[in-house]
């Protein structure tokens, strides 16, 4: 288990270093990914979906608004709601983050064959699914 934890820390450090150069924290990235995957959200609902305090999500949304990566849209359905949606610039930034993560993955897994990579992916998904069943982490989405 020590090796798994060490590999996770190394991967996280490399990804954080690579992606933070673009000015996006893991929470910024998570907001962008959630909006890309699930579509527009009211701020409070987005915070609940992500299981993150509303104040943190609001701070990140302010940052993303300033960078032009998201936009606020007013929706009048059952009352007035400010809905956050991804902009084309936000989609491009998310694509860059995902490309950076794939690049880090390629560096870390360079010594593995294609078959070994597939086997590692399968095994890690099983480990994550078990951890999710135990309530230790959320299930992996990929």
With a CB cutoff of 8 Å and minimum separation 6, the contacts of 10 are 108
Stated pTM of the model: 0.75
CA distance 126 to 139: 10
Per-residue pLDDT of the chain (142 residues; tens, 9 = 90+): 788 889 888 888 888 777 766 678 889 999 999 999 999 999 889 999 998 999 999 999 999 999 999 999 988 887 787 899 999 999 999 999 888 888 888 988 999 999 999 999 999 999 989 988 888 765 444 4
Query: Would you say residue 88 lies in a domain?
Result: yes
Helix (H) or strand (E) holding 127: helix 114-133
Residues 6+ apart with CB under 8 A from 3: none
Q: How many structural domains are present in the chain?
A: 1
**Residue 82: which domain range?**
2-111
Is 132 part of any domain?
Answer: no
**Interatomic CA distance for residues 118 and 35, integer angstroms:** 28
């Amino acid at each position: 288990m020590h090796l798994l934890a060490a590999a996770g820390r190394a991967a996280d450090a490399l990804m954080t270093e690579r992606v933070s150069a673009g000015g996006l924290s893991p929470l910024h990235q998570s907001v962008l990914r959630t909006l890309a995957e699930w579509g527009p959200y009211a701020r409070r609902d987005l915070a609940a979906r992500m299981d993150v305090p509303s104040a943190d999500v609001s701070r990140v949304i302010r940052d993303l608004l300033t960078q032009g990566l998201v936009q606020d849209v007013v929706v009048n359905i059952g009352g007035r709601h400010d809905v956050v949606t991804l902009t084309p610039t936000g989609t491009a930034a998310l694509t860059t983050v995902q490309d950076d993560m794939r690049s880090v993955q390629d560096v870390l897994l360079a010594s593995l064959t294609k078959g070994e990579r597939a086997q590692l992916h399968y095994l890690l998904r099983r480990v994550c699914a078990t951890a999710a069943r135990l309530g230790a982490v959320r299930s992996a989405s990929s």
